[in-house]
Amino acid sequence: MSTAIVDLITQFRIQFFDKFPYVSSYVYSLNPVMTTKVDTMAVDRTGNMYWNPDWCDKLTLDEGAYVVQHETWHLILRHCHLSDEVLGPNPSQQQLYDMNVAMDCVIWEMLECVKEHAPEGGVTLPNMQERWPQIKSGMTCLEIYSIIQQ
C-alpha cells in the first residue's frame, strides 16, 4: 500500500470536518481496509470501511470526503442492523441491493448541503423520484424500500 493512498484516505476524512464536526469521532473510528472486492467504498457493522484504491485515486478530495461521510452515516444509522431486522437471515441479492439503495437515498438527503460533491453515478433523491415518482423527500428508508419492492 502506497503512502500516497493512505494519505489520500486521511485527507478524505478531514476534508469535511468543518461541515460535519459532530460526526468526526465516527469518521475517525472507521477502520480503512483496502480491497478490490468492492467497486467503490462500503462499511460494515463493525466500522470497517472497505475502499477500492483504483476508484478512490480518481476522486477529488471533496468527492472522497462526501463518500466517507456517506459511509459514516450508514454506520451511525445502524443500517446493517436494520437490514438484518427487516430482511432476515437469508435475503436475496436483490433485496440487499434494494435496501442499500433506499438507505443511500436517505443519506443523500442528509448530505444534501454538500450534494455537489457526490461522485457521479450514485443514488440521489431526484434520480430515485425519476424511477419511482411516489418517493418523497423526508421518507424513511423503510418507506422507500417498500416503494422499490412494489
59 pairs with which residues across the strands?
none
Least reliable range by pLDDT among 2-6, 33-37, 106-110: 2-6
| Whether residue 2 has pLDDT greater than 70 | no
Q: Edge-to-edge strands of the sheet including 41-43?
A: 31-34, 48-51, 41-43
For residues 7-15, average pLDDT? 92
Query: What are 43-96's pLDDT values in tens digits?
Result: 999 999 999 999 999 999 999 999 999 999 999 999 999 999 999 999 999 999
Q: State the pLDDT at residue 1.
A: 46
Euclidean distance between CA atoms 22 and 8, whole angstroms: 22
| Whether residue 146 has pLDDT greater than 70 | yes
pTM (two decimals)? 0.93
What does DSSP say about strands 48-51 and 31-34: parallel, antiparallel, or unpaired?
Answer: parallel
User: Is residue 126 classed exposed, middle or buried when 0-12, 13-18 and 19+ CB atoms within 10 A define those classes?
Assistant: exposed
48 pairs with which residues across the strands?
31
